[in-house]
């Protein structure tokens, strides 16, 4: 489930070649998940690492994560 979520998020990533020759990428559905690197491959690798950390921190802090590919990683609290 987590792997599918990460893969779905990575497929939503956008990449841009900047004027200085470096690459910028972000996942618009995941606020704050972006990176900049010298090569496209490094940019993609860094983006996935950033995404993974963002997911872990978001879950730990109780943030609401976007539902991607029908996968909801948010902890559902039962109402008494």
Residue 80's pLDDT band, with cuts at 50, 70 and 90, is: low
Does the domain made of 2-61 have the CATH classification 3.30.160.250?
yes
Write down the domain spans for the chain.
2-61
Cβ neighbour number for residue 5 with a 10 Å cutoff: 20
pLDDT, tens digit, for every residue of 8-56?
Answer: 999 999 999 999 999 999 999 999 999 999 999 999 999 999 999 999 9
Checking 39-42 for CB contacts under 8 A at 24+ apart, the result is 40/15
The phi and psi torsions of 13 (rounded to 5 degrees) equal: -65, 145
């Amino acid at each position: 489930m987590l792997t599918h979520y990460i893969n779905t998020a990575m497929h939503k990533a956008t990449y841009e070649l900047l004027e200085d020759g470096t690459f910028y990428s972000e996942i618009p559905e995941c606020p704050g998940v972006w990176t900049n690197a010298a090569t496209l491959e490094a940019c993609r690798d860094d983006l996935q690492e950033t995404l993974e950390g963002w997911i872990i921190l978001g879950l730990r802090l109780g943030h609401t994560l976007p539902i991607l590919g029908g996968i909801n990683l948010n902890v559902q609290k039962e109402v008494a």
